[in-house]
Amino acid sequence: MATNNVRVREPWPLDETDTVIVRQLQRDARTPNNQLAELAGIAPSTCLARVRSLVDRGVITGFEARVDPAALGLGLQALISVSVRSGARHRMAEFSAEMRRMPDVLQLFFLGGSEDFILHIAARDSAHVRDFVLEHLSAHPFVASTRTSMVFEHVDRAVTIP
Amino acid sequence: MATNNVRVREPWPLDETDTVIVRQLQRDARTPNNQLAELAGIAPSTCLARVRSLVDRGVITGFEARVDPAALGLGLQALISVSVRSGARHRMAEFSAEMRRMPDVLQLFFLGGSEDFILHIAARDSAHVRDFVLEHLSAHPFVASTRTSMVFEHVDRAVTIP
DNA sequence: CATGAAAAGTCTAAAGG
DNA sequence: CCTTTAGACTTTTCATG
């Protein structure tokens, strides 16, 4: 039996109406409730209740504005694979918490496999990438090695509703 | 109403007011304009103009609802590094376009360095991951090799406004 | 669960400093 | 670039099917 749940979870069937609502909110989180209702073919008050329920059930986890790093002068992105020293394996949670406090870090993946972490960072230029790696990774007592790759293209899509 | 302005990229001249607005919209894209104005210490109509300007300037690229893949039955995530056969290097754009059409793909990174792509996928279970790799990658004529790592933890943060 | 109607609140254009 | 004003529009609550 599937026992891998992080918290109690409703079985995932979104009905037709919820699916329409969620897809539209993925496209535009600020769609007015009455337009959303019309798209879904229900009354605005019903639609409001549906949206609230989707949030309460944890299907929708937030509404956020996307910001283009390049428009803020952060025109470069990199992925950095990080291997943790074997003696520091038990402190990876600590390392992870430290990394997510760095303003340059966009994403952190904690992995099973030959690499321990992948960091996705935004930077002004290659000197900024280099400084990040040297100051925050290579010099870090938990870090065994790193490998940096420049990101030429990044596609970030919303999860597709089945 | 997307007006197709050519966007001149002015690196990061966000003043104090824009910064407050953008930070709040990153936290909650549906903050009412009124509240946003009050937070920023300006009149609502001014705030409205600021938000529009941020969108027009390409600083804010969209407003979206976040959906938890696990709540849809996709409780597992993986990163898959893909190396492209040297004979297919000139067709990587084609490959990239193909991959982003797959519903399982959350993100695609096109990289410079020893690996060509990293795919971030969401899956129901490990059989789903295996099937994805076997059917869409290993069997693909452009693909030389792949390496799959399970994602134990994923932190995705909004870009920090300097 | 879904609805309509009414109250409460919000949006936004225009005109003016 | 910012503000005020005022009408139109949206959201939200709640009594009821």
Q: What is the mean pLDDT of chain A?
A: 92
- Asked whether the beta carbons of residue B64 and residue A67 sit closer than 8 angstroms, the reply is no
Distance from CA of A139 to the nearest CA of B (A): 23
Is the pLDDT confidence value at B10 over 80?
Answer: no
Establish whether the CB of A33 is closer than 7 Å to any nucleic acid atom in strand D: yes
Question: Is residue A11 very low, low, confident or very high in pLDDT (cuts 50, 70, 90)?
Answer: low
Task: Indicate the CATH number for domain B69-151.
Answer: 3.30.70.920
Cβ contacts (< 8 Å) between B111 and chain A: which residues? 79, 149-152
Q: Which token pair is B78?
A: 């993986």
Half-sphere exposure of A159 (CA within 13 A, CB side): 25
The CATH number corresponding to B16-57 among 3.40.640.10, 1.10.10.10, 1.10.3720.10, 1.10.1780.10 equals: 1.10.10.10
State the smallest CA–CA distance between residue B26 and chain A in angstroms.
5
- Residue B90 sits at the chain A interface (C-beta within 8 Å): no
Cross-strand bridge partners of residue B138? none
CA pair distance B90, A134, nearest whole angstrom: 34
pLDDT one-digit tens code per residue, A31-65? 999 999 999 999 999 999 999 999 999 999 999 99
pLDDT (average), residues B12-38: 94
Query: Nearest nucleotide by C1' from B42 CA?
Result: D2
The answer to whether some atom of strand C lies closer than 7 Å to the beta carbon of A19 is no
- Mean per-residue pLDDT of chain B: 92
Both tokens assigned to A74: 């952060």
Whether residues A108 and B27 touch (CB distance < 8 A) is answered with no
Interchain CB contact of B71 with A (< 8 Å): yes
List where CATH 1.10.10.10 sits in chain B.
Answer: 16-57
Q: In B, which residues are within 8 Å of A156 by CB distance?
A: 106-107
- Pinpoint the residues of chain B covered by CATH 3.30.70.920: 69-151
| pLDDT band of B11, cuts 50, 70, 90 | low
Average pLDDT over residues A107-120: 93
H/E segment holding residue B20: helix B16-27
**Is B72 an 8 Å CB contact of chain A?**
yes
Identify the pLDDT of residue B162.
84
**In angstroms, how far is C16 C1' from B47 CA?**
18
Q: pLDDT at residue A148 above 60? A: yes
Rounded to the nearest 5 degrees, what angle is found at the Cα of B30, between the Cα atoms of B24 and B34?
A: 75
Nearest nucleotide to A46, CA against C1' atoms? C2
- Tallying the residues shown for chain A, one arrives at 162
Higher pLDDT pick, A12 / A138: A138
Distance CA B16 to C1' C10 in A = 25
Is the pLDDT reported for residue B3 higher than 50?
no
pLDDT band at B12 (very low <50, low <70, confident <90, very high): low
